[in-house]
Amino acid sequence: MSWQLKVYDMVVIIIALVVAYGSALVAYDGIPIQNVGNFGRESGGIWKQVMPALYGYGAFAAVMIVGMVARLILRRRNL
């Protein structure tokens, strides 16, 4: 059973990384580019960099939590 748990853990981590990367790309594309006015860029341009990180971290954490809960459920069934 030990190798099965290791494979399961690796699959969950890979899925979490892929989902985090995809979520970061979606967030990056979803933030509009700030216009440049007479005095430079409008404020708020930092969100183009912050939101992808937040989406990525959130998606990674969500997949990991679901994976951990599923692992606990599967482990209890096998006992």
- Taking the C-alpha atoms of residue 34 and residue 45, their distance in angstroms, rounded to an integer, is 6
Looking at residue 55, what is its pLDDT? 95
Q: How many CB atoms lie within 10 A of CB 25?
A: 13
Is residue 34 a part of any domain in this protein? Answer: no
Is residue 22 a part of any domain in this protein? Answer: yes
Is residue 43 a part of any domain in this protein? Answer: no
Q: Dump pLDDT digits (tens) for 11-29.
A: 999 999 999 999 999 998 8
Is residue 42 a part of any domain in this protein? Answer: no
Is residue 60 a part of any domain in this protein? Answer: yes
Q: Dump pLDDT digits (tens) for 23-57.
A: 999 998 888 777 776 766 666 678 888 999 999 99
Which residue segment(s) compose the domain that 69 sits in? 1-29+52-79
Q: How many domains does the chain have?
A: 1
Is residue 74 a part of any domain in this protein? Answer: yes
**Distance, C-alpha 4 to centroid of its chain:** 24
pTM: 0.80
Tokens of 27: 């967030």
